[in-house]
Structures are given as C-alpha cells and as structure tokens.
Amino acid sequence: MNIIILTDRHGAARALTLSLPVLLAAGAALIAVPVMVVVLTWSVLTDAPQPVLATDADLAWQETLTDVEVEDAASNESQAQLEHMTQQLARLQTRLMRLDALGERLTELADMSDGEFDFSNDPGVGGPELLNNSLEHESPDVQSVLDKMADRIDSRTQQLKLLEELMVNRSVDSNALLDFKPVHQGHISSGFGRRSDPMTGRIAMHTGLDFAAPRGTPIFAVGAGVVTFAGRNGAYGNMLEISHGDGYKTRYAHAQTLDIKKGDLVSKGQQVATVGSTGRSTGPHLHLEVFRNGMAVNPARYIALK
C-alpha cells in the first residue's frame, strides 16, 4: 500500500509504502482501544456501590415484621391491663367479704335474721328467656366481672345503710319508750287512781305509783330525756322532772338525794336520785308520775314491771 504525503507548500511529495502486516497491526490497535475503554468503564461502574431494588418478597417480609412488632406491643399492653384488672378484682372481692361479714353480724345483733337482709347470697334475679338464634354466647371479660362485682358492693352498701337507719330508729324508739323499772328493790305500795289519803283518810285522786323501798335505794330514769326541774317542790319534797319529748314527762318525788341537775341529758336506766321520805310522805318511797300532753296517766301502762 502506497501513501503519498505532501511535505511543503510548493507541492513536494513523499511516498510511504506500508506492508500488509503493518496494516493489520494498525487495524487491530484501532479496534482494541475502544474495547479496552469500554472494559475499564464497566469495571469502575461495577466496583461502585449500587442501590438495591426491593423485590415484592422483601416488601412483604418487612410488612410482616412490622405487624409482629405492633402485635407484640399490643399484647404487652393488654397483659398489663389484665394484671391491673385482676388486682382490682381481688380488692373488690376482699371488700365484699368484709361487707357480707359485717352485714351478717349486724342482722344478728338487730335480731333481723328473718331473710329480709341476706348477706350470704346474691339477690334473686330472673325473667323470661328471649330466644334469638342470631345471638351468640360470649364469655364475660374481666371488665364485665369487675362491673358485676361493683354492683354487688353497691347493693350490699345500700342494705347496710338501710339496716343502719332501722337500727338507729329502733334505738331512738327504744330510748323514747318509758319502760324501764325505776327501782330494782321494793314493791308497789299504792297504785294510780282514787284511794284513801294516807294522811286524812278521805278519798282522793292519786296521780302516780308509789314504790316502797329502803332509804337510799337508787332511782333510775324510765326513759331518755332532759332534766327540766331538780330541787325542792312543796309536798313532793326533793323532786326531779324529766322531759322525754312528744308531750311526755316524768316526775320522781320524795327523793333523799338528787344526782342530776336541771339541763342535764339522761339516758334510759341512768341513776338520777335515791329513795327518801321528803315532803308529804309517811315513809321512804318513790312517787312516780307520768304526764302526757299535760295530763297525768297511769305509769303502769308504760313501765315494764319485772
């Protein structure tokens, strides 16, 4: 192969002759250079970190892991709530047992063990069965058990409040009754009504009961009340007057000593004086009078003479 090369501006030329082996070598070099550039470029690119594209399987696995973590957290929270409710249930059961024991004891003390107040069993419930095939049986959860236990405690509390009111009212009524024997010794020496006066022998009205007893014998209040008079009162001698409310009052006459004074509160059965023979009296005794709305009534109607 001949190659003509112009060497200057005057058109001088030189001829260059290339053999076949030289041409083949040059062609091979021209082809090899681009190939080497491509190979080097690919090597550099493959050595650099490449982003990894997530497949559908990877995404599904990640979602599964997330769901498991959420379920574990929810399970831990539910377990904590269950433990808390269990502790509440134990405390409510303890309170209920104490209320039942207290209720049973109070019914015994109040002599109300006739079934009206029953603290040993749950109150009876019932009603017609409503058939519904669409309703499915569900086991009660802890919260529903707690609610039922709280309802039982409320029921017991209401019963105890009612029992307390009945006992207080009974106590008030019992204290208001004038049924305590004023002296524990001696005997009735003169009844209520018309009699022969021991001083004059004439028929006269006796407005009380006389209890003959040794001098100094304790005298007890027949009912609870407040002292409205304590002192000397003519023919009554040393006398006490006690107001019991509802229009009732009592008098204790001819006493030797007075143990209380005007304005004192007294309870049923409290000692208030001692038997004497002061005033218009033939001997040591207690003269007891009971007044209702200002009128003298027979004390025997109220006093339990045992």
**Across the 306 residues of the chain, what is the mean pLDDT of every consecutive 10-residue run?**
55 58 64 65 58 57 66 71 76 76 70 57 52 50 72 76 68 68 89 82 88 95 94 95 91 96 93 95 94 91 68
Q: In this structure, what are the phi and psi dihedrals at residue 145, rounded to the nearest 5 degrees?
A: -65, -40
Q: What is the predicted pLDDT for the residue at 94?
A: 80
- Each residue of 143-171: pLDDT tens digit? 677 777 777 777 777 777 777 776 666 55
- Each residue of 211-244: pLDDT tens digit? 999 999 999 999 999 999 999 999 999 999 999 9
The two tokens of residue 71 are 């379920």
- How many angstroms separate the CA atoms of 266 and 227, rounded? 7
Question: Cα–Cα–Cα angle for 255, 261, 267, nearest 5°?
Answer: 90
What residues form DSSP beta bridges with 257? 274
CA atoms within 13 A on the CB side of 23: 8
Q: What is the predicted pLDDT for the residue at 297?
A: 92
What single-letter amino acid sits at 214? P
The two tokens of residue 92 are 């409510």
User: Which conformational region is residue 256 in: left (phi greater than 0), alpha (psi within -120 to 50 degrees), or beta?
Assistant: alpha
Give the residue extent of every domain in the chain: 2-43, 88-113+142-176, 187-301
The model's pTM is 0.47
- How many angstroms separate the CA atoms of 18 and 69, rounded? 78
Q: In this structure, what are the phi and psi dihedrals at residue 32, rounded to the nearest 5 degrees?
A: -70, -35
Domain 187-301 has CATH 2.70.70.10: yes
